[in-house]
Structure 1
Amino acid sequence: MTVYGIGTDLCDIRRIGATLERRGDRFAERVLGPNELQVWRARTARAPARGLRYLATRFSAKEAFSKAIGLGIRHPMTWRACEILNEPSGKPVIRLHGVLADWCAERGLVAHVTVTDETDYTASFVVVETT
């Protein structure tokens, strides 16, 4: 495999919280895919701070992925077409949908992601390889 691209992102959780406060659930619904939305709603119901951290890590990981594939947030890269989910072990994985999945498959791209969060920040790192 050959490295196609590397992306990283640092996100201020307080900024995501302020945006969520201003825009309400519409912000999360714009950024999160259907599977992520289910997790976000469940975490938010249990503890709003956990839901906020989840949203911030997903936002950051999608930014990092968009940088690694060299598109930024423009077609075919959309917020909802890229989901950051967790395997049963807890390992984060990228699941792509629709045109974005097709675009990456045509190029033989495989992505690896890691996310972390601390008190006020989240960080994400993505490596995209060609098969």
Structure 2
Amino acid sequence: MAVIGVGIDVCDIERFGASLARTPGLRVRLFTEAERTRAVASLAARFAAKEALAKALGAPRGMAWHDCEIVNESSGRPRFALRGTVAAAVEAAGAQHVHLSLSHDAGVASAMVVLES
């Protein structure tokens, strides 16, 4: 296996929360129904994850936000549930494994994605 893409993104939690409050439709546009129920810090980390995945893929056009959902395994470990446009981009890149790490502390949410063949 080889690394074929790496992406990282950070998000200021307070600023992201203000954006969600100012533009209520943003929550619906960016997140699936299941994701929308989470706290602002978790949403900021999930937004960072979606951005990090796009960066790892080379930011291809046409990917839909809802085609990339961050879910948690029973252990609590986050992972991507990919479908549609995003699944197609991951497949086109030749990625067999998509690794995800999320964090939020000191007012900043971050995510790192590694694509592996």
TM-score of the pair, normalised by structure 2: 0.89
Number of equivalences = 116
Aligned residues: CA RMSD: 1.5
5+ unaligned residues in a row in structure 2: which ranges?
Answer: none
Matched, 1:79 2:65: yes
Moved over 4 A (4+): none
Matched, 1:96 2:82: yes
Shift of 1:54: 1.5
5+ unaligned residues in a row in structure 1: which ranges?
Answer: 44-50
Residue 42 of structure 2 aligns with an amino acid whose one-letter code is: Y
The one-character-per-residue Cα deviations of 1:66-107 (angstroms, maximum 9, x if unpaired) are 1011116x31x2211111111010001011111321332344
Shift of 1:2: 1.1
Residue 118 of structure 1 aligns with an amino acid whose one-letter code is: D
Report the more deviating stretch, 51-60 or 106-115.
Answer: 106-115
TM-score of the pair, normalised by structure 1: 0.81
Q: Match of 2:41?
A: 53
Query: 2: distance between equivalents of 1:29 and 1:117?
Result: 22
The structure with the greater share of residues assigned to helix is 1
Q: For 1:90, what is the secondary structure of its paired residue?
A: coil
Q: Match of 2:99?
A: 112
